[in-house]
Structure 1
Amino acid sequence: MADVGVRPARRPDAAAVADIQVRAWRRFYRDLLPAAVLDEVTSPAARDRWHERWAESITAPPSPRHRVLVAVASDLVVGFAAHGPADDPGAAPGTAELVTLLVDPAHTGAGHGSRLLAATVDLLRDDGTETLITWVFEADEAMRAFLGSAGWAPDGASRTLDMGEPVREIRLHTDIREPRDRPEP
């Protein structure tokens, strides 16, 4: 079995992160987003912009609580996750947001997503975070099932993105406090 793990992203990882994002979006979002939008956000020019944005996110995050993690297998970056403080209006103190979590389509099903999610939760617990939220496409059944298996559930919030046609997202949340630290029901 190959050596696998999760570590903080480094500047040289930005290219791999951008490539994974483009490949994952092309594969996993092809039935979720309008074709013209998907073509635009996964074009070679867009890939170059994503590379620049990820390099900046990795080397100059907006705060110390904004982090990008990468999953590695035999020193190859195979997935990534980004998180930071929640900026949703009305988010309770102690809430963070999982901004994205993607695994290269060629490496799904090997536990990389679960390792990224666990590492994210560990870091956020150390920061004192109690609740973790994320926005997912309502029609993204695979991501909803993955997060649901880890204890995430819809919290009732939704939004509609205008992508030439409406694309609905729902917000999921989970309590990431240690079980002994949670209030009694």
Structure 2
Amino acid sequence: MLSPGTDSRGPSTTFSGMAEAAVRAAGPDDVAELARVQVSTWQTGFENLLPPDVLAGLDADAAAAELARVLEQGPATVHVAVEGQWLVGFCVVGPSPESESAGANDVPAPDAGTVALVGTLLVEPRWGRRGHAGRLLAASCAAAADAGMTRGICWVPERSQSLVGFFQRAGWVPDGVVRTLDAGGRPLREVRLTGSLGLDLV
């Protein structure tokens, strides 16, 4: 699930100005904090999209185990956004499974072997509107390009205008393929967007 973080609130009333912000590769020591960010961001950012019982049942330990596996085994890469001492978001990008990039008729895309999938892009809402999502996406897409990928795709909830708009501002466009997921008994319709990995976001 993707959520660049659209909340306009600052991180804390004790913060004066914006501390140094950066993006770096994630490491094993980040796993617990990555899992916390994932669970808390879903619970605060997707309350209008997912049923309350689904959000309440999110398991930080399970999320940590999956993130640790990705960091150890790949092939996806994980980048984190930091502001000062705080880890505020992360992005997971890797080679797309053929089924994720296929056409609406399930015919494989001609370039299926070089399509990158943005599987996760999360920024805690309280750190939103500070450029973290753009920096994460740009760094992650650059790493994918360095690994031989030629374009990117992502799936976003159709009802999330902020998410669709975020990727469109990055130059990505809906490619006409949609899917409907079962989100705890509630249908969740997602649209697929695609675009260049050569981003210049700040």
2:87 matched residue in structure 1: 77
SS in 2 for 1:30: coil
What corresponds to 1:54 in structure 2? 67
Task: Give distance in 1, aligned partners of 2:196 and 2:65.
Answer: 33
Match of 1:135 in 2: 155
Percentage identity across paired residues of the two chains: 37
CA contact (8 A) 1:23 1:105 kept: no
> CA separation in 2, counterparts of 1:144 and 1:24?
18
Whichever residue aligns with residue 3 of structure 1, its letter is E
Higher relative contact order (CA 8 A, sep 6+): 2
- Cα distance in 2 between the residues matched to 1:101 and 1:76: 17
What is the CA RMSD across the aligned residues, in angstroms? 1.5
* SS of 1:151 mapped into structure 2: coil
Amino acid at match of 1:6: V
Structure 2: which 5+ runs fail to align?
A: 1-17, 103-107
Give the aligned partner of residue 181 of structure 1.
none
Residue 33 of structure 1 and its aligned partner are, at CA, apart by 1.1
| C-alpha deviation, 1:117, in angstroms | 0.7
Provide runs of 4+ in structure 1 moved above 3 Å.
none
Instruction: Supply the AA of the counterpart residue of 1:136.
Output: V
Structure 1 spans left out of the alignment, 5+ residues: 179-185
Matched length: 171
Matching residue's letter, 1:55:
A
What does the per-residue CA deviation read over 1:45-91, in whole Å, with 9 as the maximum and x for residues that have no partner?
x1111111112211222x3xx10110111132111000110112424
SS, match of residue 164 in structure 2 = helix
Alpha-carbon contact 1:130-1:177 (below 8 Å) kept: no
Which residue identity does 1:153 align to in structure 2?
V
* Residue number among 7, 20, 23 corresponding to 1:3 in the alignment: 20
| 1:138-163 per-position Cα deviation (integer Å, ceiling 9, x unaligned) | 11111111111111111111111112
Q: Deviations over 1:116-140 (max 9, x none)?
A: 0110121122122221001111111
Structure 1 length normalisation: TM-score? 0.86
| Counterpart position of 2:53 | 36
